[in-house]
Amino acid sequence: NDCHEHVLQDIAAVSQGSIVAPDHEYPSSLEFRLTATSDGQATTPARKIYPKTVVLTFKTRPSALHLVVYGVSQKAPFTQTVIQNSKVTISASTPQTLQGFTYVFSRWSDGGAQTHTITASISTSTYTAFFSR
């Protein structure tokens, strides 16, 4: 229901070309439309291409604290499907309260800042935010 379009390129009178796909959240796809005209008759077939994805796992230590991925706060642990090689902003909210104790962000397992952008690699990865009392 959140479907929307971004027109990337409109190229006329060429026999070949290339594009750089935009960085976009999952799910998304690229649709190519080619209009061919012969004897005044035009036809426009469309082909959809779906990007490769990877599943990222997000954890906190201690468990059950919240992390923010793509601007959405979720209780860890959780997984998120993303497009390979896309940029993903992750954040550890601080301070947080769990079972009457207050926890403050300490570090990420990848050494990144409290809020930082990761590049989704071609393999499954786990990111853990460590908190202290």
Q: Give the model confidence (pLDDT) of 110-119 as tens digits.
A: 999 999 999 9
- Sequence-separated (6 or more) residues with CB below 8 Å from residue 124: 54, 55, 56, 57
Phi then psi for 38, rounded to 5 degrees?
A: -145, 130
56 alpha carbon, distance to own chain's centre: 10
User: pLDDT by residue (tens digit) across 71-92?
Assistant: 999 999 999 999 999 999 999 9
What is the reported pTM?
A: 0.80
